[in-house]
Structure 1
Amino acid sequence: MNINRRVLLGSLALGATGVVPALAQDSKGLIVIITPSHDNPFFKAEADGADARARELGYETLILVHDDDANKQSELFDLAIARGAKAIILDNAGAEASVAPIQRAKDAGIPSFLIDREITQSGIAVSQIVSNNYQGAQLGAEEFVRLMGEEGEYVELLGKESDTNAGIRSAGYHDIIDQYPGLTMVAQQTANWSQTEAYAVMESMLQANPGIKGVISGNDTMAMGAWAALEAAGRTDVIVVGFDGSNDVRDSILAGGIKATVLQPAYAIAQMAVDQAHRYLTEGTTGLEEKQLVDCVLITPENASRLETFSLAS
């Protein structure tokens, strides 16, 4: 098994030989944190939140990145099992593809606690803690409709097809927007959660549909790519609404660029997962249902200044 791929490490570092050193004698054990690429600040916030809480509770941590590659994720689970992890905190690399490695960890006596993305089966992970993507998408759609004045042509940027959140957010958007006959979707295309892809897709959409008035995006990263393409084309009149609550979009909102986003509290959710892992390891139960929804918050120019690293100050 090749573990020398893109692996990011927290408080437990690999030695020069590639061998993970033994845990400290006073450690409560190892918690492995696995997320998509930290190039997306949302996933970095998840890893940072889980890492901070786990170390606060007395655990050592191993922070790994699967890059949305299900095969790499499977290898990382093998690494976690080989290291005798006490628990795994996971933002998964595919709702269906993640079932087998989570089951493999469970069979090895290692419980998994999922954040951000659900899997297709229940009873394998101990917890699945996700933002209420449907509720959040409806908040974003309501603001989008208001900003659009209930009329005009718009386009939609979709997330990665293998991610259930992409479909849930799109459904939430359309259950609101489709109630307004004056709003017409003239294009809909995936940009796979990528800023670079969103830039290219937005360029093509704009060329084919020069009359568009709005863009609704499945996440902030794609919203930023779309906004960059619109700026390059001199179309800063186009209304863009995102989803996630990133600092980049916050700054754009405050500068009068992107108009709104929807915050899903990534940092707090990751810490909730670690708290539940700790309770499960010490008491044998989390005391909670497996599937848990955390409500999202609309971010506009009125409250954007209170947003920092996927958390809204009171």
Structure 2
Amino acid sequence: MNISRRAVLGALAVGATGVVPAWAQDSKGLIVIITPSHDNPFFKAEADGADARARELGYATLVLVHDDDPNKQSELFDTAIAQGAKAIILDNAGADASVAPIQRAKDAGIPSFLIDREITQSGVAVSQIVSNNYQGAQLGAEEFVRLMGEAGDYAELVGKESDTNAGIRSSGYHDIIDQYPDMTMVAQQTANWSQTEAYTVMESILQANPGIKGVISGNDTMAMGAWAALEAAGRTDVVVVGFDGSNDVRDSILAGGIKATVLQPAFAQAQMAVDQADRFLTDGSTGLEEKQLMDCILVTADNADQLETFALAS
């Protein structure tokens, strides 16, 4: 059963009068799913995957968006606590800022299961299931170097500073690229995971570095923004590599635009988190370590046609 925030709050108000809400009667309890904005298809895939799996297992679900705002995320945690959620599935709004609300939920008896992004403390969440961003970044960097012919000026677009994934991916990129002395980074700028911001940043980089040969991006959304700016400038010769495995980048690869991306399995990762939440609620333990890594997969023109909604067809 998928329920709106308004419906749950209304049900709680009724529950205060002694009437049990219908969703509480008809399910194993409420799982709250909190992610960044669904404008980014990666986060929508996470929410959809968690929502579908939770309902399949007999839970009511409440899907909420924090918009990468730690204050809003904190308010949503208060809402989940007030609603008596059984568990929270979270793609967090900041590695440091998320610790306190997760601890607050834990103190209220509500376990949190993290996906995609880590936090800076262990023992607060039950699970932290993340893509092996370092391994994936190395895959992307190796392909980028190959496509660049091991030489040339390039730019790097970096994600949000508050997101540990941004730094991990950048480190993975450079641990490969920096081994090649003829690869020269002429610009490194954040575009905060944003397509619109990446377009503007790419315009500025192009003006300052007209001889640029490649762009390696911390995610697919920024890669799409960079590619749009390159197309507008008539620079479709520039090699662009992304990270995520979105359908938009898949289509660009198949059309001969962006050259490659790195798939992190958002849908499967979210469903795994729900499975672990269910196991924890049933048995008191997931039987697994808190921090878990899922390997990433390189996507190129050779296998892009098998990619759909952050998963490769088997």
TM-score (norm 1): 0.96
Could you tell me which amino acid in structure 2 is paired with residue 133 of structure 1?
N
**Aligned-partner Cα distance in 2 for 1:17–1:63:** 11
Residue 310 (structure 1) aligned with residue 301 (structure 2): no
- CA displacement 1:45-67 (0-9 Å, x = unmatched): 00000000000000000000000
Could you tell me which amino acid in structure 2 is paired with residue 39 of structure 1?
D
Cα deviation for residue 14 of structure 1 reads: 4.2
Q: Could you tell me which residue of structure 1 aligns to residue 18 of structure 2?
A: none
**Aligned-partner Cα distance in 2 for 1:113–1:290:** 9
1:23-34 to 2 correspondence within 5 Å?
A: 23-34=23-34
> Whose helix proportion is higher, 1 or 2?
2
**Aligned-partner Cα distance in 2 for 1:16–1:289:** 36
Could you tell me which amino acid in structure 2 is paired with residue 11 of structure 1?
N
- CA displacement 1:68-114 (0-9 Å, x = unmatched): 00000000000000000000000000000000000000000000000
**Aligned-partner Cα distance in 2 for 1:296–1:160:** 20
1:178-257 to 2 correspondence within 5 Å?
A: 178-257=178-257
Is this contact kept in 1: 2:9–2:83, CA < 8 A? no
- CA displacement 1:146-198 (0-9 Å, x = unmatched): 00000000000000000000000000000000000010000000000000000
**Aligned-partner Cα distance in 2 for 1:106–1:186:** 46
1:1-314 to 2 correspondence within 5 Å?
A: 11-15=2-6, 19-20=10-11, 22=21, 23-314=23-314
**Aligned-partner Cα distance in 1 for 2:7–2:148:** 56
Distance 1:180 1:16, change over 3 A: closer
Structure 2 gap ranges (5+)? 13-20
Distance 1:141 1:17, change over 3 A: closer
Q: Could you tell me which residue of structure 2 aligns to residue 5 of structure 1?
A: none
**Aligned-partner Cα distance in 2 for 1:92–1:179:** 33
Cα deviation for residue 25 of structure 1 reads: 1.5
Is this contact kept in 1: 2:217–2:223, CA < 8 A? yes
SS at match of 1:256: coil
Could you tell me which amino acid in structure 2 is paired with residue 13 of structure 1?
S
Distance 1:102 1:17, change over 3 A: closer
SS at match of 2:222: helix
**Aligned-partner Cα distance in 1 for 2:54–2:159:** 30
Is this contact kept in 1: 2:24–2:30, CA < 8 A? no
Cα deviation for residue 19 of structure 1 reads: 2.1
**Aligned-partner Cα distance in 1 for 2:5–2:146:** 52
Is this contact kept in 2: 1:148–1:213, CA < 8 A? yes
Cα deviation for residue 20 of structure 1 reads: 4.2
Runs of 4+ in structure 1 deviating by more than 3 angstroms, as ranges, are 14-18
Alignment length, in residue pairs? 305
Cα deviation for residue 12 of structure 1 reads: 1.1
Cα deviation for residue 143 of structure 1 reads: 0.1
**Aligned-partner Cα distance in 2 for 1:122–1:13:** 31
**Aligned-partner Cα distance in 2 for 1:49–1:187:** 36
SS at match of 2:298: strand
SS at match of 1:19: helix
SS at match of 1:168: helix
**Aligned-partner Cα distance in 1 for 2:6–2:181:** 61
TM-score (norm 2): 0.96
Q: Could you tell me which residue of structure 2 aligns to residue 4 of structure 1?
A: none
Cα deviation for residue 15 of structure 1 reads: 4.7
**Aligned-partner Cα distance in 2 for 1:249–1:181:** 29
Is this contact kept in 2: 1:14–1:20, CA < 8 A? no
